[in-house]
Amino acid sequence: MMDKSKISSTTIRTVLIVICVLLTFVMYMQRRTRSNLKQAARLPFYNVQPEQVQDGTYHGTVYTKFMHVQLDVTVENQKLTKIDIIENQGAYGKKIAPLLDEMIAQNNTVVPAIKGDEIGSIVFIACVDDALFKGLPESRQKELKPPQADE
C-alpha cells in the first residue's frame, strides 16, 4: 500500500523549478529597476524655475531606454500655466498627472515624486526642466549647459 503523505519526486522537481523561475524573475526586475534608476539619475537637470523663463510654450524631450517623454510647457507672467503630455511611452509615468498639477500649483519644478512611480517622476521633472531651459536667454543656457564632446 502506498503512503499518501509522501510527495512524488516529480512534484518536488516541479515546485523547485517554479521557485527558481520566480527567483530569477525577481532578481531580473530588481536589476532592471536599479539600472533604470541610475539612468534617470544621470538625466540633465538645470533646476530652471518659471520666474527665470520668458513667456511662451516650450517643448521638452527626454528619451531613455525605458521611457520616451515629450511635453509642451506654457509659461505666462513667470508662472507655469499648462503642461501638455505629447508623448508618454514606456514602463513608468502612467499616473503622472498629479505631479504635473503640483508643479503648476506650486509654480515650481521641484516637487515630491509620485509614490510608487519615483522613476517616472524623475523623468517627467527632467522633461519639464528641459522645456523651461529652452525659455532661458541664450547666454544663461550657455552658462548652465556643459560643453558637448564635439564642441
Series of mean pLDDT values for 10-residue runs along the chain (151 residues): 67 87 83 78 84 94 92 96 94 87 94 89 93 89 66 40
Question: What crossing angle do the helices spanning 9-41 and 118-133 adopt, rounded to 10°?
Answer: 20
DSSP letter string over the chain?
---TTSPPHHHHHHHHHHHHHHHHHHHHHHHHHHHHHHHHHTS------GGGS-SEEEEEEEE-SSEEEEEEEEEETTEEEEEEEEEEEESS-TT-HHHHHHHHHHT-S--PPPTT-HHHHHHHHHHHHHHHHTTS-HHHHHHHSPPPTT-
Q: What is the pTM of this model?
A: 0.76
50-144 classified as CATH 3.90.1010? yes
* 132-149 burial code (b ≥16 CB/10 A, e <16): bbbbbeeeeeeeeeeeee
Burial of 130 (0-12, 13-18, 19+ CB in 10 A): buried
For position 81, what pLDDT does the model report? 96
Domain boundaries, the chain: 50-144
For position 149, what pLDDT does the model report? 43
For position 148, what pLDDT does the model report? 52
For position 151, what pLDDT does the model report? 40
